[in-house]
Amino acid sequence: MKIIMLGAPGAGKGTQAKMIAEKYSIPHVSTGDIFRANIKNGTQLGMEAKQYMDQGLLVPDELTVKILLDRVANEDCKNGYVLDGFPRTIPQAEVLDKALSELGDQIDYAINVDVPDENIVKRMGGRRACLSCGATYHIEHVPPKSEGICDSCGQELVLRDDDKPETVQNRLNVYHEQTQPLIEFYSAKGVLKTVDGTMDMKEVFEAIVTILS
Ligand code: ADP
Ligand code: AMP
């Protein structure tokens, strides 16, 4: 099963993608997590990506597409995957589409997690991330057991630089201009499913499982 998560930054794509990955035993592939791991390890890719990420801009397609295609070519992706944060532009979607159709394959579901902008700004300010293992928390909705510490790996939790309010508005603008057109792209392919992302995260997950079953 090959699934794409669509939705604004902070809509809950990562939260739902992790639950889908666990339930259906497929890898969760997040381009944002791949970039953050590269930043943490000080790689050339990480240094280049950081310049864009810190401003709330998209990393150029040339950099992004290659890391994604390399990742999904891995053995663990052969039975499917859930993509979180990719594609984010029409050219990215077209490259993925072409790569899949060359293998006689296609995306099965594009799940659009729909959340209005007003809710997003509030959610992002409360998000806390573990840059070590990629776990995500929310100070109100999903607090860690011990404040500021990751339940999974014990490392310190941070407010991501790009989750600061001044950057969140940029990211929302970029989303509406460059990523939202993908809703129409996948709708035209007949694979788009929309869920109400303002519900409690368990309810959102139930709605997704109903779609996938
Ligand atoms: P995305 O991957 O789309 O950027 P996340 O999954 O990281 O978004 O979610 C953004 C923030 O909102 C996180 O702090 C997460 O814990 C919280 N969150 C996710 N889903 C919900 C929900 N349904 N209701 C309330 N908060 C949520
Ligand atoms: P995310 O963790 O998905 O919110 O991504 C964080 C940031 O990484 C984004 O704001 C972009 O700067 C960058 N990024 C992640 N995925 C992509 C992508 N598919 N295309 C371009 N930039 C991306």
Which helix (H) or strand (E) segment holds residue 183: the answer is helix 181-188
Distance 31 CA to ligand 2 centre (A): 6
Q: Cβ < 6 Å from ligand 1: which residues?
A: 7, 9-15, 123, 126-127, 136-138, 141-142, 197, 200-201, 204
Which ligand has its closest atom nearest to the C-alpha of 121? Answer: 1
Ligand 2: which atom is nearest the Cα of residue 35? Answer: 8
**pLDDT beyond 90 at 165:** no
Confidence of residue 161 (pLDDT cuts 50, 70, 90): confident
What is the residue-averaged pLDDT of the chain? 96
Q: Which residues of 66-83 are buried (b: 16+ CB within 10 A; e: fewer)?
A: ebbeebbeeeeeeebbbb
- Is 64 close to ligand 2, i.e. is its CB under 6 Å away? yes
Contacts of 140 (CB under 8 A, 6+ apart): 126
**pLDDT beyond 90 at 91:** yes
* pLDDT for the residue 108: 98
Q: What is the pLDDT of residues 42-84, one digit of tens each?
A: 999 999 999 999 999 999 999 999 999 999 999 999 999 999 9
pTM for the full predicted model: 0.95
Question: Dihedral angle at the C-alpha atoms of 142, 38, 86, 23, nearest 10 degrees?
Answer: -50
**Residues with catalytic function:** 13, 88, 127, 160, 171
Distance 209 CA to ligand 2 centre (A): 25
**pLDDT beyond 90 at 122:** no
Instruction: Report whether 33 contacts 134 (CB < 8 A).
Output: yes
